């Protein structure tokens, strides 16, 4: 069974950093690109960042470029999102999602909650 | 950036009723994806490549469209279909989502 489990969320003060992890199981992690998608409370879905299977291609939303870093460790089946200089508008539930054939996001984690507040 | 405009924003349907949700793109896209998100749950892939049904999705769901106009149809509404539905494109970066359509059961 394909599983994606996020961790590392929490309450953090503005300007501080936080690192999210997404542990993958049930599939060959190194064969798939991965995305981070976030959802602010009561709002819609927003793409955050993408990374290809071998980390050759990395893309960021303008809203997080220069502050967030997506990375992966294929040996550990884990995707990461390093978030720095956090702002209140970064408060959201952060999902990792597998990018399947044809660029479809065919598996999603349960989400990690990030709250940025003083 | 390609902006996706969904309509309606909110709608309600009776069991057995047909429901259509529209997604208009600000520029032409080659494929559209549709996700279903039930309250308190993660999004779930429904439709990929505009009209292909994801694994395990009931065949009362269908997708169609081309260019800048796409739609998701539920042929016969069921209570379990109450959810928020999002369209999504990745024909060009950045990947973008529509703002969502909340579907309620009457």
Per-residue confidence band for A102, with pLDDT thresholds at 50, 70 and 90: confident
The CA distance from A108 to the nearest CA of chain B, in Å, is 7
To probe the interface with A, which of B45, B49, B53 has the most A CB atoms within 10 Å?
B45
**For residue B37, which of B99, B95, B106, B92 has the smallest C-alpha distance?**
B99
For CA atoms A102, B32, B3, B29, give the dihedral sign.
Answer: positive
Measure Cα distances from B12 to A6, A56, B6, B8 in Å. Answer: 33, 45, 15, 10
pLDDT digits (tens, 9 = 90+) for B36-55: 999 999 999 999 999 999 99
The CA distance from A31 to the nearest CA of chain B, in Å, is 19
pLDDT digits (tens, 9 = 90+) for B73-105: 999 999 999 999 999 999 999 999 999 999 999
Residue given tokens 């793109």 in the structure block: B25
Residue B69: the pLDDT is: 98
Does B51 contact A at CB distance below 8 Å? no
Asked whether the beta carbons of residue A47 and residue B35 sit closer than 8 angstroms, the reply is no
């Amino acid at each position: 069974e394909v599983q994606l489990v996020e961790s590392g969320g929490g309450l953090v003060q503005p300007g501080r950093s936080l690192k999210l992890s997404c542990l993958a199981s049930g599939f060959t992690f190194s064969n798939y690109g991965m995305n981070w998608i976030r959802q602010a409370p009561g709002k819609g879905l927003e793409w955050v960042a993408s990374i290809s299977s071998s980390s050759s291609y990395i893309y960021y939303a303008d809203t997080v470029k220069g502050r967030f870093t997506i990375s992966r460790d294929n040996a550990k089946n884990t995707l990461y999102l390093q978030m720095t200089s956090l702002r209140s508008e970064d408060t959201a539930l952060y999902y990792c999602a597998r990018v399947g054939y044809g660029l479809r996001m065919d598996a999603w984690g349960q989400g990690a909650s990030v709250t940025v507040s003083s | 950036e390609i902006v996706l405009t969904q309509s309606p924003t909110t709608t309600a349907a009776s069991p057995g009723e047909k429901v259509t949700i529209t997604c208009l793109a600000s520029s032409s896209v080659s494929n559209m994806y549709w996700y279903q998100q039930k309250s308190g749950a993660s999004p779930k892939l429904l439709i990929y490549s505009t009209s292909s049904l994801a694994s395990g999705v009931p065949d009362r769901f269908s997708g169609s469209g081309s260019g800048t106009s796409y739609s998701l149809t539920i042929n016969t509404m069921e209570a379990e279909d109450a959810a928020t539905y999002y369209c999504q494109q990745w024909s060009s970066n950045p990947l973008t989502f529509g703002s969502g359509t909340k579907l309620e059961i009457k």
